[in-house]
Amino acid sequence: MMHVDDIETPALLIEAEILDRNLRAMAGYCGNHNLALRPHTKTHKIPEIARMQIKYGAPGITVAKVSEAEVMADGGIDDIVIVYPIWGESKWKRVAELAKRIRVAVAMDSPEIAEAISRSAQEAGVEVGIRLEFDTGFGRCGLPIESSSVAIARQILELPNLRWDGISFYPGHIMGDHAIREQDIAVENERLDRLYALLNAAGIPCPVVSGGNTPAAFESHRFHGVTEIRPGTYVFNDRNTVDSEAATYNDCAATVLTTVVSTSVAHRAIIDAGSKMLSGDSLLSGERRHYGYVQNRPDMILEDLSEEHGHLRLYEGAQARIGDRLRVIPNHICPCINLQDHVYLVSGEHVLKRWKVAARGKVN
Amino acid sequence: MMHVDDIETPALLIEAEILDRNLRAMAGYCGNHNLALRPHTKTHKIPEIARMQIKYGAPGITVAKVSEAEVMADGGIDDIVIVYPIWGESKWKRVAELAKRIRVAVAMDSPEIAEAISRSAQEAGVEVGIRLEFDTGFGRCGLPIESSSVAIARQILELPNLRWDGISFYPGHIMGDHAIREQDIAVENERLDRLYALLNAAGIPCPVVSGGNTPAAFESHRFHGVTEIRPGTYVFNDRNTVDSEAATYNDCAATVLTTVVSTSVAHRAIIDAGSKMLSGDSLLSGERRHYGYVQNRPDMILEDLSEEHGHLRLYEGAQARIGDRLRVIPNHICPCINLQDHVYLVSGEHVLKRWKVAARGKVN
């Protein structure tokens, strides 16, 4: 069996036991609260992990791009929601093609896109699910909670070859620590109640109400009316998740294995993992400093990144020798995964598998 | 001929005329000042562009990784310097293998790495060039300018199967505006003079003195003793280059073609290029705000990025309709290129070629 020491650095390692524990914990939580778990696979982009999620009870998965859906369908997943406003003739055609072989739905927020998908579904003779996206406070996509939006929902409900699944929202703004989240959830519930009142008054059903992100995932049952959640990061966790108190460093399954390659500059050591390996994403909240957490080394911090260099600052007395191997938990695991062609599934010092990141770089 | 409108977004476009002009300008400058141009190909990662650089007079190229050197050698480049402290038995072997078919040199800053490369070169029966890296102020890699470092140079000079090329430094700290640069160059020259004095006193020759970055590239002749420069970004330029006054937006050859996919939130428009397309890198200097420059649209700014969403803030009166196509100049083109499987070479609205980014994702 291959040993971790035989892996060329830098490389991304996934701890099999932690991954499995994370998958089971979220599946268990959703089971206990009667929530459908439709994980966002943008975090891992690996069909093998998507299949594990299905095995643990997820009815289907979430992706952001048609090309990601194609890869996941090829990988054996047969129920996929594309939570992204898809624009472009060729993409609408590809969605309809996909609906010939698996169950597909799309979340969007404009009549233009709904009409286009209805048209391509008609041409292909298929049905595509539709979820209407509402903005509950993140301010990115989603219709406002107003009666004008209900008129759009009505319009979409009448389009042919679309299956009305319900509504969708993304609470990306709910990610602070516990005290901040308590306030945010209360505000979110007021907004959701207002939305349900508008939809009910217009006689629009909501078989699915899809929300959820990783920081607030284990409190999803407290959001009014939610039937499904779409967390992504929980499979691996990262420094952002720990920072938002949704996990501890012991729950982080993904680490970058890296080597010290230079110690020439005083109070510094340079590792062979820079932003090309870790991504340059800063933390989402707090002081937003540093670029990853160095495991078992409280004597150093990852202060800065160049593309190919991680800049460690060494505290007084820290020992870092050229050739030393370290493991770093990234700030944000999703873009980090998107930089890898392959990852290594490990159990302690043993390499179990090398997985291809099959949905990496799928931008269309 | 394919039209730009036929390209699915998001996509990276390279304007052929601007690329050509940038290549010729740097080659011309280096020719005028008798500087060898050894461009860092991390910016483009495309063998076709490396061959253009050679055609315009570069004696060879620079890369950061052994795997990048392998791709570029496969692409017809026969003189490559790996400017990175390479660590690992398999990598040292690969360097020696590479030296069997092309001219290879390595820049490093430790006797351990020099000894390891000497050993693998002996085993393979080849010669590998060595350049010793000095730190002139950036504080990343490089030996300090002290007599202890001269002792290391002596030690390396005596190792078998190594060709002593000379010294190397990276003035990554020289990137501010004109006034800041003037001061920085003066300080840099004091340091370089001190280094030359130490090396001369020890009788250590410097056939090559390699420096240079893009922000200060056209002032490289003012750095004392420099014989070669390694700029990378100049081929495309980006918002960082413009910010450092080394180029204008008219000199930016690479743009991300993107589509407005949502306009549901007031004063906002969402485009289909987020950090997965543009990279999340903030600007290197100044206020470090915003994530790219939207061409021909002074009525909007790219205020924030999610992975798949660019968040445009619209000024009063701005028109953004769903389906509109925009072009964005990234903050930092190097990590942006590393996210692309392919790029499109265009001339105005015509697509000339689709190039594979052959050295993308080469981390080892």
Predicted confidence (pLDDT) per residue in B1-22, tens digit:
899 999 999 999 999 999 999 9
Predicted confidence (pLDDT) per residue in A113-147, tens digit:
999 999 999 999 999 999 999 999 999 999 999 99
For residue B262, which residues of chain A lie inside 8 Å, CB to CB? Answer: 85, 109-110, 140-142
Do B16-236 and B249-356 come out as alike in CATH topology?
no
Q: Is the pLDDT of residue A111 over 80?
A: yes
Q: Is the pLDDT of residue B108 over 90?
A: yes
CATH number (3.20.20.10, 1.10.540.10, 2.70.98.10, 3.10.20.740) of B16-236 reads: 3.20.20.10
A265:B140 CB<8 A: yes
CA distance A273 to chain B (A): 8
B364:A261 CB<8 A: no
* Chain A residue with minimum CA distance to B8: A364
Q: Measure the CA–CA gap between B353 and B47, rounded to whole angstroms.
A: 14
Instruction: Round the CA-based radius of gyration of chain A to a whole number and report it.
Output: 22
Q: Is the pLDDT of residue A179 over 90?
A: no
Identify whether the C-beta of residue A170 lies closer than 8 Å to the C-beta of residue A140.
Answer: yes
> Which of B11, B88, B335 is closest, CB to CB, to A280?
B335
Q: Measure the CA–CA gap between B46 and B49, rounded to whole angstroms.
A: 6
For residue A323, which residues of chain B lie inside 8 Å, CB to CB? Answer: 87, 112
Q: Is the pLDDT of residue B177 over 80?
A: no
Domain boundaries, chain A: 16-236, 249-356
Bridge partners of residue B88, in order along the sequence: none
Q: Is the pLDDT of residue B318 over 90?
A: yes
Task: Return the pLDDT at A216.
Answer: 85
| In chain A, % of residues over pLDDT 70 | 99
Residue B314 CB neighbours (<10 A) = 19
Predicted confidence (pLDDT) per residue in A229-262, tens digit:
999 999 999 999 998 888 999 999 999 999 999 9
- For residue A179, the 8-state DSSP code is H
Lowest mean pLDDT among A14-23, B148-157, B182-191, B262-271: B182-191
The CATH number given to A249-356 is: 2.40.37.20
Predicted confidence (pLDDT) per residue in A37-47, tens digit:
999 999 999 99
CA distance A34 to chain B (A): 30
Bridge partners of residue A1, in order along the sequence: none
Task: Return the pLDDT at A212.
Answer: 82
Residue A75 CB neighbours (<10 A) = 17
Task: Return the pLDDT at B174.
Answer: 83
A66: phi then psi, degrees, rounded to nearest 5 = -60, -40
Confidence category of residue B286, pLDDT binned at 50, 70, 90: confident
Predicted confidence (pLDDT) per residue in A193-228, tens digit:
999 999 999 999 999 999 988 888 899 999 999 999
DSSP, residue by residue, A16-51: HHHHHHHHHHHHHHHHHTT-EE--BTTTT--HHHHH
How high is the mean pLDDT of chain B?
Answer: 95
Q: Which of B257, B252, B255 is nearest to B233 (CA)?
A: B252
Task: Return the pLDDT at B213.
Answer: 82
Q: Is the pLDDT of residue A177 over 90?
A: no
Assign 3-state DSSP to chain B and report helix, strand, coil percentages, each to 5: 35, 25, 40
Confidence category of residue B199, pLDDT binned at 50, 70, 90: very high
Q: How many CB pairs under 8 A join A and B?
A: 174
Predicted confidence (pLDDT) per residue in A280-307, tens digit:
998 887 777 899 999 999 999 999 999 9
Whole-model pTM: value is: 0.96
